[in-house]
Amino acid sequence: MKVADTGIALREILKNAPRPVVLVPTMGAFHAGHISLMHRAREIAGSHGTVVTSIFVNPIQFDRPADLANYPQPLTSDLATCEAAGVDVAFTPSATSMYFPDRSVTVTESLLSSGLCGATRAGHFDGVCTVVLKLFLLSGCDTAIFGEKDFQQLAIIRRMVRDLDAPVEIVSCATVRETDGLAMSSRNARLTPAQRADAPRIREALLESSTLETLEEILTAARSAIEASPLTRIDYLSLVDAETLQPTHSLDRPAILATAVFYDDVRLIDHVIIHRPLTHPTDA
C-alpha cells in the first residue's frame, strides 16, 4: 500500500493507476463500518482496479471547536486497517496542504442542507461538499463509497454530483451496527460506560415509534423514549421526505425519521426509513 500526504503526491501515484479508481472518503478512527466501505470498494475495483482511502479530519466541517479537538486520530492503526482491507493508496493530507490560508471558494448546497443536521450545524455541509469535491478532483476517482448512516450527507453529495456534473458514481452502503443496535461511529469511543449502555435507546425509539399511525404520534413517542433518559439531550428529531429532506405532512411517500442526540458533548445521529400510507395523517 502506498501513502500520499499531499495532493501532488496523490496525483503522482494515481497518474497511471489501473481503472477504476474507487474512493472511500473518511476521517479515520476506523471501525467495522469503515472497513465494510473499503471491502465494497475492493469489490467494485476488482483485482485490477485501484482503491483509495482518504484519512482527513476536515476542519471546515466542524461547527464546534471542542468536537474537532477531541476527534480521534489514530493514524498508525488506521493505516494498518487500510492495508488489511485491501486498500491500494491511503491519502493522509494535513489541513495546510488541503487549504490555502486565504482560500475564498466554498461549495454550498442550499436545499437539502437546510434542515436536520444543517439546521443546527452552521457551515457543516459547506465544509463537507467542499472537501468531497476536492477529493474527487485530486483522486480522479470513478466511484466513491459512502455509508448510509449519514443519510443527509449522502443525499447532499448525490445532489452535488448531479448539479455539478461530477463524473463520479456514488455508491452507498448500509449502516453497520453494534450487536445492541447502536450505529457504529468513531464518536462512540468517547461515551462513558453509562452513556454507552444507554445509547441503544436511540435506535429503539426510532424503530418503535415508526410503527405508530400518525406523524404526531410518531414524533411524540420517539421524543418521549429518547428523553426518558436523564443522559440525553435531543439536538433535533424530524420527519422529512426521503428525497427532498423537507418536512413531510403524510407518509404516502418514503420518509425519514431522523435524530441527533447529545450525550454531554458527544453527538450521535441515526434514522429509520418509513414508507406506508397513514389512515389518518396529521400535520406534525
Instruction: Give the residue numbers marked as catalytic.
Output: 34
**Strand runs labelled E in 41-166:** 50-55, 89-91, 143-147
Q: Strands 50-55, 89-91: parallel, antiparallel or unpaired by DSSP?
A: parallel
Strand order across the 266-274 sheet = 232-241, 255-263, 266-274
Q: Strands 255-263, 266-274: parallel, antiparallel or unpaired by DSSP?
A: antiparallel
- Provide the 3-class DSSP secondary structure of residue 62: coil
For the packed helices 7-14 and 124-139, what is the interaxial angle rounded to 10 degrees?
40
- The string of DSSP letters for 230-262 reads TTEEEEEEEEEETTT-SB-S-SSS-EEEEEEEE
- Cβ atoms of residues 262 and 232 within 8 Å: yes
